[in-house]
Amino acid sequence: MKAYKIFFVLIFILSVKIFSQAGGSTGISDAKSAAMGKTGATSSFGLRALGNNPANLFSDSSKHVEFVIPFPLPNLSGSVGTNFMTIDEYNYFFGTKTKDVDGNTIGRYLTDADKSRMKNLFADGGAITTDLQIQYFAISIKPSNDFGTFAFSMGDVFSSNVTFPQGIVSIALDGNPVNQLYNFNDTKLKAWWLRKYSLSYARSLNILPIFQKISVGVLFNIIQGFAYVGTDHVNTQLTTGEGNIITGKGDFLAYAAFSPDFNVKYDFDKSTTAKKDFKFTPFPTPTGNGIGLDFGINAKLNDVWSFGFAITDIGSVTWNKNAAQYSSNSAIYLDDLSNQSQRDSLVKALVGKDNGKYINEFSTQLATALRLGASMQIKNLLLAFDYNQGFNDQPRNSKNPRFSVGADWTFGFFDLRTGLSFGGFDKFNWGLGCGFDFGFLEMNFGTPDFESVVVPNSAKRVTVAIDSRWKF
């Protein structure tokens, strides 16, 4: 499926050239949150609240206008990595090469212990993610404390999530033993390019006397989708039998959609129209449209304690231009792996090759997530605690809960930040970063994966976040 290949080339190019801002339960919303271990439900205020908790858009700051432009620092953040294999492990299994008796270069010969170790790496799934976004422009205006704060922002999201099935690893390591069942149900593939135009509003509502202040905020996203590739389900199984016979059933359903401006032609499209070369443009015609909603509350108990609640990315995108479906639901039988037609039939059953077709539309959920937080302000030290729970496995999201704790020390115009995160897709993060606040200008740098800098050969991810904002 050439369309799939083109999109992953696009994702790879973008991941190399830009690092950007992301959301969801496992993504990054700003450089400060990244440095604090992706903690932000009660600790990110002003424009940093977008993607964390829209209630925090309103603050007691004397500044009435904030805006983000690509100067002096662009608002970029992003992550590329896996949840299963470090650089050391990759080099051990795939980077070591030796010479055989004939002088030919060969890879490492795996012992039984090596095979067992490699299978264990994929025990929780072999996932690779790319999570990228850039915020081009944002502005917030607070006419007065009584009126509240409203804001507008625009940015792009580039995200992908690919999970390789454990069955593939077992077949590669074990060969073709008799009476062995392999399933590929854990296979996942989802990738998209979304553009978000966001309108948000927050204000203080002193409705409960027990709290010093309660802020409520809402954010409305108008979303354009430019590209999508994703599996709906993979319920494929293979069983090995006597005489190298393989039987099973291929059950596969996937969707794809690309902007007409990309000139992507699906392999099932037999039209005689001359095929144009793939073209990338920064302002393509949308292939999908949708809406999203964030809602949040920040309750300040006193000058020390604050509590936050938010649900982000409620909504969906409907893809209705150049929408395609690939499917398979057929029996599998092989008794001669050297037979090209049998191998072709296996590929068709596994990935729906030659079973693609145009459809009117399909829909995908956004990366909906719940965020709960608490923070404690002790003089110049802010301590924050977060719980993040994703409701689906869309890009930037995880159904596995994530806990984080972060700290922000303020020394005049300089801030030092750090934090720890446990769970979610990444399992563990150690964040570190800093910020400079000159009153009218703020600049921030951070990463939630500082352990990758300290012990690079044990790294599974690379994450960077930078941003700046003007305040008046």
Q: What CA–CA distance (Å, rounded) separates 431 from 21? A: 16
Q: Is the pLDDT assigned to residue 22 strictly greater than 60?
A: no
Hey, which of 72-81, 85-94, 380-389 has the most confident mean pLDDT?
380-389
Residue 111 counted as domain residue: no
> What is the per-residue pLDDT for 274?
61
Mean pLDDT calculated for residue range 92-118:
78
Q: What CA–CA distance (Å, rounded) separates 15 from 34? A: 18
> What is the per-residue pLDDT for 8?
41
pTM of the predicted model, to two decimals?
Answer: 0.88
Mean pLDDT calculated for residue range 10-36:
62
Q: Is the pLDDT assigned to residue 9 strictly greater than 60?
A: no
SS (H, E, C) 356-417: EEECCCEEEECCCEEEEEEEEEECCEEEEEEEEEECCCCCCCCCCCEEEEEEEEEECCEEEE
Listed in order, strand segments (DSSP E) in 235-322 are: 237-240, 246-258, 288-300, 305-319
Q: Is the pLDDT assigned to residue 118 strictly greater than 90?
A: no
The number of domains in the chain is 1
Mean pLDDT calculated for residue range 177-189:
86
Closest among 147, 130, 236, 111 to 183, alpha carbons compared: 236
The model's confidence at residue 169, banded by pLDDT at 50, 70 and 90, is confident
Mean pLDDT of the chain: 88
Q: Tell which wins on pLDDT, 152 or 271.
A: 152
Could you list the residue range(s) of the whole structural domain that residue 20 is in?
Answer: 2-84+122-471
Residue 11 counted as domain residue: yes
CATH of the domain at 31: 2.40.160
The pair phi, psi for residue 249, each rounded to 5°, is -145, 135
Residue 89 structure tokens: 């492990």
Which residues are CB-contacts of 80 (< 8 A; sequence separation ≥ 6)?
15, 129, 130, 131, 461, 462, 463
Mean pLDDT calculated for residue range 213-218:
96
Among 146-150, 269-273, 422-426, the minimum mean pLDDT is found in 269-273
Closest among 261, 201, 270 to 227, alpha carbons compared: 261
Share of the chain above pLDDT 70, in %: 92
Q: What CA–CA distance (Å, rounded) separates 48 from 299? A: 18
Q: Tell which wins on pLDDT, 269 or 291.
A: 291
The pair phi, psi for residue 6, each rounded to 5°, is -60, -40
The model's confidence at residue 13, banded by pLDDT at 50, 70 and 90, is very low
Q: Tell which wins on pLDDT, 161 or 335.
A: 161
Residue 98 counted as domain residue: no
- How distant is the alpha carbon of residue 328 from its chain centre? 28
The answer to whether 441 and 64 have CB atoms below 8 angstroms apart is no
Query: Residue 72, preceding bond cis, omega within 30 degrees?
Result: yes
Amino acid at 114: D
The answer to whether 52 and 34 have CB atoms below 8 angstroms apart is no
The answer to whether 21 and 11 have CB atoms below 8 angstroms apart is no
Residue 104 counted as domain residue: no
Q: Is the pLDDT assigned to residue 10 strictly greater than 70?
A: no
Residue 350 counted as domain residue: yes
Amino acid at 138: A
Q: What CA–CA distance (Å, rounded) separates 301 from 187? A: 46
Residue 235 counted as domain residue: yes
Mean pLDDT calculated for residue range 196-216:
94
Each residue's pLDDT tens digit, 275-334: 678 888 889 999 999 999 999 999 999 999 999 999 999 999 999 999 999 998 888 888
> What is the per-residue pLDDT for 3?
44
Tell the residue number behind the tokens 């979304």, with chain if given. Answer: 194
Q: For the purposes of burial, counting CB atoms within 10 Å of the CB of 154, is it exposed (0-12), middle (13-18) or buried (19 or more)?
A: middle
Q: What CA–CA distance (Å, rounded) separates 235 from 266? A: 24
Q: Is the pLDDT assigned to residue 29 strictly greater than 50?
A: yes
The answer to whether 196 and 157 have CB atoms below 8 angstroms apart is yes
Q: Is the pLDDT assigned to residue 131 strictly greater than 90?
A: no
**Helix ranges (DSSP H) in 62-122:** 87-90, 112-121
The answer to whether 317 and 218 have CB atoms below 8 angstroms apart is no
The answer to whether 67 and 150 have CB atoms below 8 angstroms apart is no
Q: Is the pLDDT assigned to residue 447 strictly greater than 80?
A: yes
Mean pLDDT calculated for residue range 350-364:
86
> What is the per-residue pLDDT for 17?
35
Residue 316 counted as domain residue: yes
Residue 93 counted as domain residue: no
Mean pLDDT calculated for residue range 13-27:
49
> What is the per-residue pLDDT for 381?
98
Q: Given 3-state DSSP classes, what are the helix, strand and coil percentages for the chain, each rounded to the nearest 5? A: 15, 50, 35
> What is the per-residue pLDDT for 339?
80
> What is the per-residue pLDDT for 19?
34
Four-residue CA torsion sign, 287, 189, 5, 27: positive
